[in-house]
Structure 1
Amino acid sequence: MRPSVKPPIIWLNVLLFLTTFMAAIVAVPWYGIVNGYQTAHWVLLLIAFSFCNLSITAGYHRLWSHKTYQAHPALRAIFAIGGAFALQNSALHWSSDHRVHHKHVDKNDIDPYSAKRGLWFSHIGWMLRHYNKETYDDYANCRDLHKDPIVMWQHKYYLLLALLTNLGIPLALGLIYGDVLGMLLIVGVLRLVLSHHTTFFINSLAHVWGSQPYTDKNTARDNGILAIFTFGEGYHNFHHIFENDYRNGIYWWQYDPTKWFIKSSHWLGLADKLRTTPKIKIEQAKAKQALKLALDKLEDRPDMAHLKQALNDEFDLLMRKLKDFYELKRQLLEQKHHGLVEKYEHSLLLIRYRQLKDECKAQQKNWNAMLTHC
């Protein structure tokens, strides 16, 4: 149980969040009215904002917290600098918090930013007091990151890097474009506030607003609108059940620029060993969740016992067909890759593969039709 007396306030964080937010909503528009902003201000804001957020999503989150892929040292160094520019603590500290969050999600006494403690707490309140001070002695849950010299370099010099980037970059741009104060406000203050709160949305809004197509064992939600503001992190329900996948938006039409950035880095030779979730596991998770929701709706309907049984039977049949289909697909790809199958045998396998694919589609159609009656 947490003590009734609240932990001490972290005054540095309070002052940082308060002063930057007030400057963003007062000083930034005031300067714009008096002096105006040029196209360069907004373009550089977008570039700096993207640099910060991708350093968090592709670096802090999917690379260091979850090890969903491996990155070239040059890319890791860029993420380390961008993470300091985003001013969200070191990669080691951030990853430690995030791993605890995933391991103990929604447990109020353990999860650093449990959504069950309220929207304000999960969004920013957890950073305003020393709620988790005892967990930062040695970052024991990040022993693997201790072996990364770039992570440890950034952790050691984080304060210096944060000052150099948050003051140095806007100042340098201001000198280049002849508007130091304007760049400090736009690329410095406004960029920082936007970067902070869009990232914080994942801890708060992404746990209360959206759908749960894969699991309802935690509060995480999928939300396409949030994905737009968070560089693809809005597909949070998928992420919490398949955290080792380098993607959050798994379908081509889902907005996930972090996924596209990682994939592009792979094509350029800057990233490898990209981890993905087998499609059968995704399909199984979706079907199990759909079955659960359907049975929950029928829980208090004794007259629907026949429909409950039919749902279970259809679900079992779907699972068997999916398993057969993906097993055959695996064998087909493996044999084709190693050249272990004759042309005639390959043709027979292709015929069976297409039959199973059609059967799966038909069974999925039957399954969806049954769900609409619940």
Structure 2
Amino acid sequence: MLIDHVSDLEASSSQPSSPPPAAGTVRIAGPKPPPTFGQWVNVTAILLIHVGTVIALMRGVTWKLVALAVASYVVRMFAITAGYHRYFSHRSYKTSRAFQLFLGFLGTTAVQKGPLWWASTHRVHHRFSDTERDVHSPLQRGFWYSHMGWWLGREHEHTDLEKVPDFAAYPELRWLDRNHIVGPAVLIAGLWLAGGYDAFLWGFVVSTCALMHGTFTINSLAHVIGRRRYATTDTSRNNFVLALITLGEGWHNNHHHYMNSANQGFFWWEIDISYYVLRALESVSLIWDVRRPPAQVLRRNLLSEVGERAPLLLKPKKQKTREFSSPVPTPAPHVTQHTAS
């Protein structure tokens, strides 16, 4: 069965984002509810991942174990960047129903929940980028919240299927999204059977720790550090180092300028490893209709030509004060006049 979607994400993010709630909105504060079971699981898992990384380093490092961790990192980073992000979130290419399911399953091994959850939250980020309703804007909520705090929050715990009606129509994807723990369990079992405890520590624990922080740097740093080519209404930036870490996601200003593109490195010198793999998959017809930015998009809304448009980056205009050349005259004293009788 072939999948032929009609994109509803065509508009470039250089268009103004939806406005945040009105300034006069009244918010009633109440007692903060206790953490849910899911939140406790997420916090515990993150702590164990970091503790396990320390244990792995203390047990000793070998080139084979490092190579295993790197290989696991690269494959799963590709699953997030080319699968969860560029396919499920932005539909930048088409594929078969079987390969779509494979991409979703491979993405779950990265321990970043299911493909429908990931895509639904990411679409919210693009719709309200850098406003109060953004999922993880560092300009609104600070570094730690945008890096990891939002991930642990109650408000982003469940999948909003209304945000992804295109993919929610597939029952196998809904099942995979609900049972996203199956992917990590299969990976852990395979590593343990193939190489024992150390293979598990390096192929899963160390790799997952690096993968998690590598992915989250796009949320926390790619709107703060780097250069801007396009005058998007958000604060997205291009960052070469982040592009290397995330196989091409660091060209974030490019992406927010034209989010439906399969390549985020728009020019040959912008390294985008995920896109190179997608080109290889296209050459063997595993994927097709790969979307790339048209020539006019590459030349549109250049910051050097139109100026800055991001509200958070615009400098507030100074109010001019009126100067007087002479002091304000004081009123004349009241004089009482007497008339002759």
- TM-score normalized by the length of structure 2: 0.77
Deviation at 1:130, TM superposition (A): 0.5
The whole-number CA distance in structure 1 between the counterparts of 2:99 and 2:183 is 17
Q: Secondary structure of the residue that 1:285 maps to in structure 2?
A: coil
Matched, 1:61 2:76: no
Q: Does 1:158 align with 2:187?
A: no
For residue 182 of structure 2, what is the amino acid of its counterpart?
Answer: L
Residue 13 of structure 1 pairs with residue 42 of structure 2: yes
Match of 1:239 in 2: 255
Residue segments in structure 1 that go unaligned for 5+ positions in a row: 175-179, 301-374
Choose which of 268, 274, 293 in structure 2 pairs with 1:277.
293
Q: CA deviation at 1:114?
A: 2.1
Deviation at 1:247, TM superposition (A): 0.8
> CA 1:52–1:144 in structure 2 vs 1: closer, same or farther (change >3 Å)?
same
The answer to whether the 8 A contact 2:232-2:257 is kept is no
What TM-score does the superposition give when structure 1 sets the normalisation length?
Answer: 0.70
Cα distance in 2, alignment partners of residues 150 and 202 from structure 1: 29
Contact persistence 2:76–2:106 (CA under 8 A)? yes
Aligned to 2:321: none
The amino acid across from 1:185 in the alignment is L
Q: Is the counterpart of residue 169 in structure 1 residue 198 in structure 2? A: no
Give the 4+ runs in structure 1 shifted more than 6 A.
none
User: What does residue 195 of structure 1 align with?
Assistant: 211
3-state SS of 2:237 partner: coil
Shift of residue 93, structure 1, vs aligned partner: 0.5
The number of residues matched between the two structures is: 283
Q: Give 1 or 2: higher helix fraction.
A: 1
Q: Given the alignment of the two structures, is residue 31 of structure 1 paired with residue 71 of structure 2, yes or no?
A: no
Give 5+ residue unaligned stretches, structure 2.
1-24, 319-341
Equivalent pair of 1:49/1:195 in contact (CA under 8 Å): yes
Residues of 1 paired with 2:57 and 2:107: CA distance? 27
Aligned residue runs from structure 1 range 1-374, under 5 A: 4=29, 6=32, 8-9=34-35, 10-24=39-53, 26-32=54-60, 36-37=61-62, 39-108=63-132, 110-115=133-138, 116-133=140-157, 136=159, 138-165=160-187, 167-174=188-195, 180-286=196-302, 288-292=303-307
CA RMSD of aligned residues (A): 2.3
CA contact (8 A) 2:252 2:264 kept: yes
Moved more, 44-53 or 154-163: 154-163
| Secondary structure at 1:124 match in 2 | helix
Find the residue that maps to 2:243 and give its secondary structure: helix
2:231 touches 2:306 (CA, 8 Å); kept in 1?
no
Which has more radius of gyration? 2
Q: Distance in 2 between matches of 1:125 and 1:3?
A: 22
Mapped partners of 1:131, 1:157: distance in 2: 20
Q: Structure with the greater relative contact order (CA < 8 A, sep ≥ 6): 1 or 2?
A: 2
The percentage of aligned residue pairs carrying the same residue is 30
1:6-65 deviations in Å (ceiling 9; x for gaps): 5643111111111211221x2011101xxx42x332222222111111110000000010
